[in-house]
Amino acid sequence: MTYLLQQALNALQLGSIYALIALGYTMVYGILTMINFAHGDLFMVGAFLCFISVLLLKLSFVPTLLVSMLGTALLGVTIERLAYKPLRRAPRVSAIITALGVGLFLENFTLALSPYPKHIPSAIPNVTWIVGGVSISSLQIVVIALSLVLMVLLDLVVRRTMVGIGTSLGGVAGVLYGLAYPVIDPYMGIVVGWKAFISAVVGGIGNIRGAMIGGYILGAVEILVVVFLPSTYRDFVAFTMLLVLLVFRPYGILGKPAVQKV
């Protein structure tokens, strides 16, 4: 029983991070109706801003979070102005290719500055409590609680969003991820970005609650596969399940069929 509770906690932590990144995809989609494939790399930039703030500027957790949010928000707005806006009337494929290009630029720009993996020192006192046999760390609590608070706030307050808010969520996720998994490198955003994108699609792209649900579902499925099956099957089983779900609900769990303009 404690084993399952521990795994549930693991799933909650992983799911929170997927959900936060998935929200970024969904919110940018809500405004621009395009998939911002550079979002995973914005998330990476968020983690590097966290590294700079904690190690070089010696900031504590809250200022670090603000620096990262502000940095990624500004970056998101700049990218939108420079790369996406000029293509608003271009075919959709052009916008997607541009987004991929922006992602590659961010990766290689970071690579040019620092090719080696970096270690982020802990900005939160690292304490582990044992509650009824389950290990709970201070980091886990911060990751899960902060994600939930942000999501509830967004859900209550935001009716019309801005690109900057979407990308700054990527920044928050970058900071939380960087603290939870403190070895970062310029390619860290690729796989996590894909997974969060899939979460957003499963939940229903463009739908805020859908992105949250999608993130938690993916986190839970990934952990559950390891609990009940050999860990080698993890990605294979997780993504097959998500594909099957999409067969039955092609617009995602909370998504609605888009009205095609003729």
Q: Give the residues lining the site for other proteins (CB under 8 A).
A: 3, 6-7, 10-11, 13-14, 116-119, 121, 126, 128, 130, 135, 137, 139, 177, 181-183, 185, 187-188, 190-192, 222-223, 226-227, 230-232, 234-235
Adjacent-strand bridge partners of 77? none
Going by the DSSP 8-state scheme, the letter that residue 259 receives in this structure is P
Rounded to a whole number of angstroms, the minimum distance from the CB of residue 78 to other proteins is 28
| CA dihedral for 189, 195, 197, 200, sign (positive or negative) | negative
Rounded to a whole number of angstroms, the minimum distance from the CB of residue 42 to other proteins is 17
**Closer residue to other proteins (CB): 74 or 227:** 227
Rounded to a whole number of angstroms, the minimum distance from the CB of residue 30 to other proteins is 28
Rounded to a whole number of angstroms, the minimum distance from the CB of residue 255 to other proteins is 27
One-letter amino acid at 157 equals: V
**Closer residue to other proteins (CB): 229 or 243:** 229
- Please give the full DSSP string across 247-261, using - where no structure is assigned: HH-TT-SS--PPPPP
**Closer residue to other proteins (CB): 3 or 109:** 3
**Exposure string for 222-253, b = 16+ CB within 10 A, e = fewer:** bbbbbeeeeeeebeebbbebbeebeeeeebbb
Lookup: tokens for 152: 């509830």
**Closer residue to other proteins (CB): 42 or 254:** 42
Residues 6+ apart with CB under 8 A from 19: 147, 151, 199, 211, 212, 214, 215, 216, 219
Rounded to a whole number of angstroms, the minimum distance from the CB of residue 198 to other proteins is 16
